[in-house]
Structure 1
Amino acid sequence: MLVSILAAFAAAQAAYAQATAPALDQAAQQLFFDRLYQTNLRGPRWTGNENQNTLIATVAAGMQLAGLTVETLETNFSRWDPRWWSLSLKLTNGTTLGLPTTGYWPYSGDSGLQGVTAPVHDAGSYALFPNQTANSGALNLTNLPANGTILFFDNPSPTRNYSEPGYGILGSSVPLEEIPELGNLTNPHWQSAKTLNFTQIIQLGVIGVVASWVNTSDANGALQFLPNSGAPGNGSVHYDVPGVYVGNSTGETIRQLVADNEVVSATVVLDAPTLDATTSTIIGHLNGTAGSNNTIIVYTHSDGPSIIEENGPILLLTMAEYFAANPLSINVDFVTTTGHMSGGHVNESAWMAARPDLLLNAKAAIVCEHFGAIEWKDNFTSGEPVFEPTGRYEPMWTMVNSSSASDDLHQLYLNAFEGTPDELRMAMVSPQTVNGVLSNWYGAGGSSILGYSDIPTVGIIPQPDYLWAAMVDGGWSRLDVDMAVTQIEVILRLIMSLDAQFVAGTL
């Protein structure tokens, strides 16, 4: 009898908690939908372009209207602006063969509309070491043509593994066997770690680059903004070696034609001037009722190619409006940073130096990105990869720091998933030190600084294969707004739990 009474009491408590859990009302949900839809209509939010600046200004104004104090930190930089690109081969039979591309190598160079033309050198494969880091020495850079070269090579993507020993699994919202992606991430956007030694190839006479995707469908590789780190420069000068990507089948065609000595030259067109631009980080401060300096940082970035990659500002605005109407005791700083898509030419974490007090006052940090992402993968069943939806949502990969001070935050985060649908899969992974090297913390650039700090941090970063891709529909067909709402409500519950700990004096 006692057991049944206790079980009934526990069930009643759970039902009460669920009934009283914070939730967006119908009006807030409709407004969230409208903002996502209308933002998507404007096109990609590349760092410093008009679309990104419009999004930032609109979110800042929305936070001010909600009653937050908003600070804007502006950065001037030189923005690389890709406009037109193409690839063609002049053959020995006198014909010109136009070839499809899947995109361009960001910040690689500017050929103008006239393009650059030179003989093609097949450098083989930009291979990977067993630890999945780039082996630039694998490229064959010997015996290049004397009067300029178009460098061609295969560019395989690394595989990432969130299983041990690189990452410790500290918890999940569903059994781990329901997250098979855990041990095998083949997402092309991880190619961001593979850069070229532009100084070296320029000295060798390379004037253009053609990189071929391998083991990836053309649709999966299309318009990926890779590598994220771009070509090196001093913030205003970029190496002028225009580069484009091609799909696997096109790469095989190029390689065969070159091997058969049927190619006289290749022409790479990448019209991509560099423009003076301004980009901004905004910090929205919401005062808590306790009147203390203590705060929770909620962080994201605002630049990206799709409505999946950078819906963070709209997530944060929605949360800010909710807590403005439902006050907390603790302060909340909503930080929307810039520089994520700048090829490394804008420092994403510069706000931390400009406002060191934010980190000094922070009791916890939450990084929110890429909510509502529908999972798409290459299906190799037919032999050739076909990019298609899997019928699932992307797991909410959540980077967490593993210090004992973070244990309470981890548990509160797990608790926030109580009552959510099984389709919402989350795994907390913590970077581990292996052979003296600390594994990478993925996500918006500044979040790694938070994650490696003493501030308890959760960095939520669903990682779809198309994350870095600029899609024709802006990614709208791969966004589930209802799921994004559910994920927002998880964060609302987490913040309220942190606030309750703050009031109790245990945060």
Structure 2
Amino acid sequence: MPPSSPIDIDRLRAAQLRLDAMGPRLTGTESHRMLVEEVAAELTGLGLEVRRDTQTFERWDLPTSADGLRIDLTDGSVAVSSAFPYSGITGPAGISAPLVLLNTKRPRWSRAKGAIAVIEVPHIDVPRKFLVSEWGPITTDEMVRNPVLSATLLGPKLAKARKAGVLGVIAVWRDIAPDNARGQYLPFTEPYHDIPAVWVAGDDAAKVLAAARTGQKATLVLDATLHPGTTTDTVWAVSPGSSPRETILVITHSDGTNGAEENGHLGLLELARHAVAQPHRRSYVFVLTTGHLRIPAVSKHGQATSTWLEAHPEMWKGEGGQARAVAGIAVEHLGALGDTEDFAAGTYTLDATPEPEVLYATSREVHDIVAPLWRDIGSGDRRIVAPSPVVHFGEGEPLFERKIPTVALVTAPQYLLALRNSDAPTHVDVDAMTKQIQSFRDVLDAFDGTDSAAFGSVVSWSAFAKFSTLLQMMQVLSRAKK
């Protein structure tokens, strides 16, 4: 194979700045549609035929003004950290009702019937061993801290609240710095609940708790809007190989909250440029998935890419004349820099060093292929991990579930799901991004030259391992709800 041309770092920097200028690209919004069309045009410009799969759903949009997202107490207003996505709507007047503080550990939602429920949600440390597995021995009792985990595992159960007749919910973050809580688009994997809910933190959370303890009346305003019939496209293209009956899938998603979540298309496009510049054995299938931030609307089971896989078995399944995917690559959160929180002091800062990478390899053989090729970005942690018995984060998950040997980058700083407008500075290291894309390009070449049997079998876990891990997690979560 001829030597590859160097990656144009100036092109990457300009593309990242363009992405930052767009601001959040929530599923089905105009900024999201614009990004999808730009990527489709670039793939077409490379000489690839772009195909589309269209999804239709009801879009929930955030309020367009600060006045549309607020809590008014008897002695003034408090700042809302963020809205609970796809919770509900109040209209511009909001809902006015007494506040009822519920027990964190075992909330009785019926106590807040006809009222606004207030419930504390602890921001917790989760043992890393529950979230990823190691290809080598586990040498530390490392903990992982991320609002995605806290909100998903411990956030209020809105379906139960609505069924009990609760009018609205205020989720009070505990043990989190206010700047960390600001704009968190969490949890992002739930269906529409038809009950308005918001998050508060810091001094504002203390004011809400004090008001709830005395049963004060409050007004909750979440002037979100619903847009039925919204369409959104997954776009994909194939770079044909000399042996088209075998494919390598290259996956990322197009919707995102900020410049790191999601910029994976920058890597996908660089790999597409690499593909069309030289012959290759396998056909490369480049998939820009939609719906990662609206999974319940586009997927029956698993992350959003599962919908594309179910629609196109001819590209991967290997049955009855179908092409077979010998391997996959999932590219997310390129060049993500780290962050530091001191919740006791109430401080949260963005770091100048890369966040430690979360890089999955779903078989021992894939690990052994990737390990010597992956460049050091200076994050201080180069472990290549396996999925845990209970979770595989990111859009590599559908490939893992279908036993396609895959490498997947899904680095997760705490701000990953925080909405950042176009005036906020980017928190991406383009030099680190370039190294990661170079690594992915080398991995793609290596995958193309590897015999299919040499990818090994995708790691699978016994029912006992899954049950044991879930039981341990439940014990940790129970202790957190003190």
Match of residue 94 from structure 2 = 115
User: Is the 1:281–1:336 Cα contact (8 Å) retained in structure 2?
Assistant: yes
Instruction: Tell me how far apart the structure 2 counterparts of residues 462 and 171 of structure 1 sit (CA, whole Å).
Output: 20
User: Is the 1:22–1:492 Cα contact (8 Å) retained in structure 2?
Assistant: no
* SS state at 1:470 partner: coil
1:195 deviates by 5.4
1:201 deviates by 2.0
Match of residue 160 from structure 1 = 126
Instruction: Tell me how far apart the structure 2 counterparts of residues 394 and 372 of structure 1 sit (CA, whole Å).
Output: 8
1:476 deviates by 4.0
Instruction: Tell me how far apart the structure 2 counterparts of residues 117 and 343 of structure 1 sit (CA, whole Å).
Output: 32
Q: Deviations over 1:94-141 (max 9, x none)?
A: xx411011110110111111111111001132x4xxxxxxxxxx1143
Q: Structure 1 stretches (4+) deviating beyond 6 angstroms? A: none
Matched, 1:295 2:247: yes
Instruction: Tell me how far apart the structure 1 counterparts of residues 176 and 341 of structure 2 sit (CA, whole Å).
Output: 7
TM-score, normalized by length of structure 1? 0.81
Match of residue 478 from structure 1 = 427
Q: Deviations over 1:56-77 (max 9, x none)?
A: 1111111111122221101111
- Do the aligned partners of residues 466 and 431 (structure 1) sit closer, same or farther apart at CA in structure 2, a change above 3 Å counting? same
* SS state at 2:122 partner: coil
Count of aligned pairs between the two proteins: 439
Instruction: Tell me how far apart the structure 1 counterparts of residues 419 and 284 of structure 2 sit (CA, whole Å).
Output: 32
Match of residue 497 from structure 1 = 446
User: Is the 1:23–1:489 Cα contact (8 Å) retained in structure 2?
Assistant: no
Match of residue 188 from structure 1 = 147
- Do the aligned partners of residues 31 and 422 (structure 1) sit closer, same or farther apart at CA in structure 2, a change above 3 Å counting? closer
Amino acid at match of 1:394: E
* SS state at 1:344 partner: helix
Instruction: Tell me how far apart the structure 2 counterparts of residues 192 and 350 of structure 1 sit (CA, whole Å).
Output: 22
Amino acid at match of 2:412: Q
Instruction: Tell me how far apart the structure 2 counterparts of residues 229 and 54 of structure 1 sit (CA, whole Å).
Output: 23
Q: Give runs of aligned pairs for residues 76-475 of structure 1, distance below 5 A.
A: 76-83=56-63, 84=65, 85-91=68-74, 96-125=75-104, 127=105, 138-144=106-112, 148-163=114-129, 167-170=132-135, 183-190=142-149, 191-194=151-154, 196-230=156-190, 232=191, 238-260=192-214, 263=216, 265-275=217-227, 276-288=229-241, 290-342=242-294, 344-347=296-299, 348=304, 349-360=306-317, 361-380=324-343, 383-401=344-362, 406-417=363-374, 420-423=376-379, 425-432=381-388, 438-444=389-395, 447-473=396-422
User: Is the 2:99–2:211 Cα contact (8 Å) retained in structure 1?
Assistant: no
1:155 deviates by 1.1
* SS state at 2:167 partner: strand
User: Is the 1:22–1:493 Cα contact (8 Å) retained in structure 2?
Assistant: no
Instruction: Tell me how far apart the structure 2 counterparts of residues 421 and 279 of structure 1 sit (CA, whole Å).
Output: 34
1:335 deviates by 0.9
1:284 deviates by 1.5
Amino acid at match of 2:398: I
Percent identity between the two aligned chains: 26
* SS state at 1:58 partner: helix
Q: Which runs of 5+ in 1 are unaligned?
A: 1-16, 128-137, 233-237, 433-437
Instruction: Tell me how far apart the structure 1 counterparts of residues 268 and 145 of structure 2 sit (CA, whole Å).
Output: 29
Match of residue 10 from structure 1 = none
Instruction: Tell me how far apart the structure 2 counterparts of residues 86 and 166 of structure 1 sit (CA, whole Å).
Output: 33
* SS state at 1:478 partner: coil
Q: Which runs of 5+ in 2 are unaligned?
A: 318-323, 456-482
User: Is the 2:258–2:421 Cα contact (8 Å) retained in structure 1?
Assistant: no
- Pick the aligned partner of 2:53 from 65, 73, 84: 73
1:166 deviates by 6.1
Amino acid at match of 2:331: C
* SS state at 1:113 partner: coil
Instruction: Tell me how far apart the structure 2 counterparts of residues 475 and 324 of structure 1 sit (CA, whole Å).
Output: 35
Match of residue 435 from structure 1 = none
User: Is the 1:193–1:229 Cα contact (8 Å) retained in structure 2?
Assistant: no
* SS state at 1:206 partner: coil
User: Is the 1:161–1:184 Cα contact (8 Å) retained in structure 2?
Assistant: yes
* Structure possessing the higher radius of gyration over alpha carbons: 1
Match of residue 16 from structure 2 = 36
1:343 deviates by 5.6
User: Is the 2:354–2:377 Cα contact (8 Å) retained in structure 1?
Assistant: no
Q: Deviations over 1:469-498 (max 9, x none)?
A: 002447643111111011000100111111
Instruction: Tell me how far apart the structure 2 counterparts of residues 59 and 373 of structure 1 sit (CA, whole Å).
Output: 21
* SS state at 2:297 partner: coil
Instruction: Tell me how far apart the structure 1 counterparts of residues 213 and 18 of structure 2 sit (CA, whole Å).
Output: 49
- Do the aligned partners of residues 70 and 320 (structure 1) sit closer, same or farther apart at CA in structure 2, a change above 3 Å counting? same
RMSD over aligned CA atoms reads 2.5
- Do the aligned partners of residues 21 and 426 (structure 1) sit closer, same or farther apart at CA in structure 2, a change above 3 Å counting? farther
Amino acid at match of 1:415: P
* SS state at 2:391 partner: coil
- Do the aligned partners of residues 489 and 439 (structure 1) sit closer, same or farther apart at CA in structure 2, a change above 3 Å counting? same
Q: Deviations over 1:23-78 (max 9, x none)?
A: 634xx322222222112212211001111111111111111111222211011111
Instruction: Tell me how far apart the structure 2 counterparts of residues 105 and 203 of structure 1 sit (CA, whole Å).
Output: 18
User: Is the 2:253–2:262 Cα contact (8 Å) retained in structure 1?
Assistant: yes
User: Is the 1:77–1:345 Cα contact (8 Å) retained in structure 2?
Assistant: yes
Amino acid at match of 1:465: Q
Match of residue 467 from structure 2 = none
Instruction: Tell me how far apart the structure 2 counterparts of residues 88 and 184 of structure 1 sit (CA, whole Å).
Output: 34
Amino acid at match of 2:392: W
Instruction: Tell me how far apart the structure 1 counterparts of residues 95 and 295 of structure 2 sit (CA, whole Å).
Output: 22
